[in-house]
Structure 1
Amino acid sequence: MDKQQKINRFLNSQPPGVVYLSSWLTENGFSTQLLNRYKKSRWIYSIGSGAWMRMGDKPTYQGALFALQEQANLTIHPGGKTALSLLGKVHYLELSIKQITLFGRSEEKLPAWFLKYNWGLKVDYYSSSFLPSNIGLQNLEQGAFNLLVSNPARALMECLYLVPKKQELVECYEIMEGLNNLRPKQVQELLEACSSVKVKRLFLYMAEKAGHDWFKYTNLEKIDLGKGKRSLVKDGVYISKYRITVPKALENYE
């Protein structure tokens, strides 16, 4: 098979809009020398060090994330309000204000080419292992490919992780109010695996306040809520059941 056929067949193995990582191309037998030759022949072009696109194709941030998930086996994914927005759970948020929130494990970094490329959006990336990377994610169709994004329960926990500095609590509660059909088993699994006491206490407090049916199936005895009190605000209201102090605006929210 000649080189042109080889690269064409390989480029066609990925859906349109997907980025090709140099590391992945090298693993599949395309040396740097060969890639530079393909670049000269105008079959591919570079969008930053370590990332390529086929000629005539324009990268999308979803296509870049697909490459990180599928080619580099990273767990970096749309989370928080971005995931909720992509899943149609919130209609007034993030994507309209040109901002995306991504989460990955504590040891995972977004590559420099991803951070430097102009996606037309502000990218907020949080690396944390407060939730395991193998639960609470779902496939979401993005045109020609599927992307792993946080499911609604995990996405709300990611929002709560950012409270109070990067995320307003009352907005989290408004999101919680809309999540009336979460699966109790999924919620239980996430709460048991979550290592953030703040997230667990807030999630349970909000679920109970919202009066969701699924909350009745939560087994609190299996969830470690830590010791001591947690205060998220000054001059707030203390919720003795969950040992947290929340803003008055939240406790009085109807």
Structure 2
Amino acid sequence: MIEYVSLYILFFTAFTAVNKDNGKLKRVLRLVNSTTSHDDVAKGAYKQSLKALLPYGMLATKKWLAEQGLSAHAIDNAVKTETLLLLATGVYSQYSRSLSWEGVVASMQRMGVNSLDDLPSVIVGGLSALSLSGLSQYLSLGSTPHIHLYAQGKLPSWLGRLSLPVECEGHSTNTLWPEWLLQDKTFIRQHEWEAALPPVYFSCPEKALLELLVDLPDAVSFEHADELMQGLVNLSPRKLDALLKACKSVKVKRLFFWLAKRQAYPWFNKLNVDDYDLGSGKRVVAKGGKLDTDYLITVPSHMAKESES
């Protein structure tokens, strides 16, 4: 009995400090994993540690749980007792198999960082980020909403094995942003979707706008981008200046200036086009369109006439 109480006090002391020091949780988990399956204290301890690692609304992969210190034996036991629920091969949650897109993305972002100071490698961006900022009037076409995720590499393979109410669409940032910018918190916001749970990280409006222009005109129409620009009255010229100087895509920069000039907001007048590398030569963006002589891109003929009038 005394041994039971001692183990319980040891676990409780470390567990209450888990949010301040993740190392303490790992030490508790090592204690749990080294205890025999016949020890009731160990069973209670790993259940408590799972609650800390996997709160309601979050998921985790088997690989990540192992990295936090849970042994394969402890994970298997948790599945057998339905303490862990299997969402797909190697992916688990607690309490419910039905998760929101915010829970899935927040979980993916949490598992993708090595320290609390790092930004996740996958960020909600483009049209989805504008929507989170309350600046997008548009819903995704079709019956399944799309969440646009931006990353240097591919999205994790386990994401495709989940049954979700949304479709997570991956976009590469390799032709758009240098690597250093992806770790600059100046251009990132946090969506607090559930109290006491990790936030969803997403691009600020200035960054999100440039991200969605990559997909113009194949996935985003000129008309759609133009109407979105009409609502972007209060963009930060300081952030736009830094992003445009860092942006690697000549097409995106030319499209931005052409769309921004049509609205002529005060922030546009604070940007000097000569400060940015817009490349050289003509670029065909709208097939069969009319050449804009200011930015040397082809745009839809009817929109070119609107700009002239």
TM-score (norm 2): 0.75
Tell me if 1:122 matches 2:167: yes
What residue in structure 2 maps to residue 196 of structure 1? 249
Report Cα offsets for 1:225-246 as digits up to 9, x if no partner: 1121111123312112211111
What residue in structure 1 maps to residue 83 of structure 2? 43
Secondary structure, counterpart of 1:133 in structure 2: helix
**Is this contact kept in 1: 2:124–2:147, CA < 8 A?**
yes
Deviation at 1:3, TM superposition (A): 3.5
Report Cα offsets for 1:27-73 as digits up to 9, x if no partner: 11112222111111111112123321013463222111112211222
Tell me if 1:86 matches 2:136: no
Report Cα offsets for 1:165-184 as digits up to 9, x if no partner: 11101110110111010111
What residue in structure 2 maps to residue 251 of structure 1? 304
Report Cα offsets for 1:108-162 as digits up to 9, x if no partner: 2222221121212233221232124234321111123311112112222121100
**Is this contact kept in 2: 1:157–1:199, CA < 8 A?**
yes
Report Cα offsets for 1:11-30 as digits up to 9, x if no partner: 23554211123222111111
1:192–1:3: structure 2 CA closer, same or farther, 3 Å change rule?
farther
Report Cα offsets for 1:182-210 as digits up to 9, x if no partner: 11111111111111111011011111111
1:15–1:175: structure 2 CA closer, same or farther, 3 Å change rule?
farther
- Aligned length in residues: 253
**Is this contact kept in 2: 1:140–1:149, CA < 8 A?**
yes
What residue in structure 1 maps to residue 60 of structure 2? 20
What residue in structure 1 maps to residue 116 of structure 2? none
Tell me if 1:4 matches 2:44: yes
Q: Which shows bigger deviation, 190-199 or 221-230?
A: 221-230
Q: Which shows bigger deviation, 19-28 or 196-205?
A: 19-28
**Is this contact kept in 2: 1:47–1:113, CA < 8 A?**
no
Identity percentage of aligned residues: 28
**Is this contact kept in 2: 1:85–1:95, CA < 8 A?**
no
Deviation at 1:219, TM superposition (A): 3.3
Matches within 5 A, 1:174-189: 174-189=227-242
Tell me if 1:205 matches 2:258: yes
TM-score (norm 1): 0.90
- Determine which structure has the larger helix proportion and give its number: 2
Instruction: Give 2:133's aligned amino acid.
Output: L
Secondary structure, counterpart of 1:231 in structure 2: coil
What residue in structure 1 maps to residue 3 of structure 2? none
Secondary structure, counterpart of 2:183 in structure 1: coil
- Determine which structure has the larger strand proportion and give its number: 1
**Is this contact kept in 2: 1:160–1:169, CA < 8 A?**
no
- Rounded to whole Å, the distance in 2 between the matches of 1:196 and 1:119 is 33
Q: CA RMSD in A?
A: 2.1
What residue in structure 2 maps to residue 168 of structure 1? 221
Matches within 5 A, 1:131-150: 131=177, 132-135=181-184, 136-144=187-195, 145=197, 146-150=199-203
Secondary structure, counterpart of 2:168 in structure 1: strand
Structure 1, unaligned runs of 5 or more: none
What residue in structure 2 maps to residue 104 of structure 1? 150
Tell me if 1:75 matches 2:121: yes
Structure 2, unaligned runs of 5 or more: 1-10, 12-41, 114-119
Instruction: Give 2:51's aligned amino acid.
Output: L
**Which is bigger in relative contact order (C-alpha 8 A, separation at least 6)?**
1
**Is this contact kept in 1: 2:188–2:204, CA < 8 A?**
yes
Secondary structure, counterpart of 2:286 in structure 1: coil
